[in-house]
Amino acid sequence: MKRTYLGEFEEVVLLTVAILGEGAYGIAITDELDRQTGRNVSISAVHAALHRLEEKGMLSSKMGDATAERGGRRKRLFSVTVLGSKTLQEVREQRNRLWDSIAPQSLPTFGMAI
């Protein structure tokens, strides 16, 4: 089966949705990405990635309840689909195979243990 292409940013967004579980919505995802990666990303970049991932079938979304802190507006909540979970697992396995294929002496360690 041919795997759908998943870019690096899409991968970290998908992983972040998985981390947040039921609380995964735009701002929470953006904040968690910043916390986990140290990357300062724009909410529009996150929304674009969420849209692409939903189009690819790796995420689904639904509207949450209206909240007072959002002035009565509803949040769009995202969740990882079976395809998204399977894709993340395939990416992880591929990366592990690549890392396992590196001979220890091939990487400069700069005094750090691998």
Contact indicator for 34, 87 with CB cutoff of 8 Å: no
pLDDT < 70 stretches in the chain: 1-3, 68, 70-71, 109-114
pTM for the full model?
A: 0.82
**Quick one: pLDDT at residue 106?**
73
CA R_g for the chain: 17
**Quick one: pLDDT at residue 110?**
62
**Quick one: pLDDT at residue 74?**
83
**Quick one: pLDDT at residue 67?**
73
Q: Would you kindly state where each structural domain of the chain is located, as residue ranges?
A: 8-91
**Quick one: pLDDT at residue 1?**
46
Class for the domain spanning 8-91? mainly alpha
Contact indicator for 3, 87 with CB cutoff of 8 Å: yes
